[in-house]
Amino acid sequence: MTLREILTIVEGRVIVGDNLDAPIEMVCASDLMSDILTLEPEKALLVTGLANIQAIRTAEMADIEHILFVREKEITTSMRELADESSITIMQTAMGMYKACGKLYGAGLPGGYS
C-alpha cells in the first residue's frame, strides 16, 4: 500500500514530505515511543497522538520514514523542520488512533506487534 492510499483511507493530509508513492508494509501505533524502539520496522508507518519533537526523533532512531499524527494534533514548526531535515513524511488525520488503525488494518496493513 502507498502513502497516497493511506491518506485516502484515513482522510488525511500531508504536512511535510512529498513521497506519496512510498510503499508501506506495516503499521506501528503507539503513544509510548519506548514501545516503538523495541520493534524492527521495515517500510513502516508510525501512527501516534504524541505530537512533539520526541516522536520525530524516535522515528529517526527506528528508521521509520513516515508518521501519521491522529486527532488532528498540532504540528509545530520545530517538528516540521526536523522532519524535513530527516526526510520524514508527516501526515495528519482528524481520526482517533483506534479508528485510523482499524481502517488501515481492514485495508490489509498488518500491525508491528504480533
Give domain status of residue 98, yes or no. yes
Q: State the average pLDDT over residues 49-78.
A: 96
Structural domain span for residue 66: 3-106
- For residue 103, what is its C-alpha cell? 481502517
Give domain status of residue 111, yes or no. no
Look at residue 53 in the predicted model and tell me its pLDDT: 96
Give domain status of residue 51, yes or no. yes
Give domain status of residue 87, yes or no. yes
- If one counts every other C-beta atom within 10 angstroms of the C-beta of residue 41, the result is 18
Give domain status of residue 113, yes or no. no
Give domain status of residue 114, yes or no. no
- For residue 93, what is its C-alpha cell? 488525520
Give domain status of residue 15, yes or no. yes
Q: Domains in the chain: how many in total?
A: 1
Per-residue CA distances from 16 to 56, 75, 88, 93 (Å): 12, 10, 8, 13
Task: CATH number of the domain at 74, please.
Answer: 3.40.1390.20
Q: Could you report the per-residue pLDDT of 70-100, keeping only the tens digit for each?
A: 999 999 999 999 999 999 999 999 999 999 9
Task: Place 42 in a pLDDT band, splitting at 50, 70 and 90.
Answer: confident
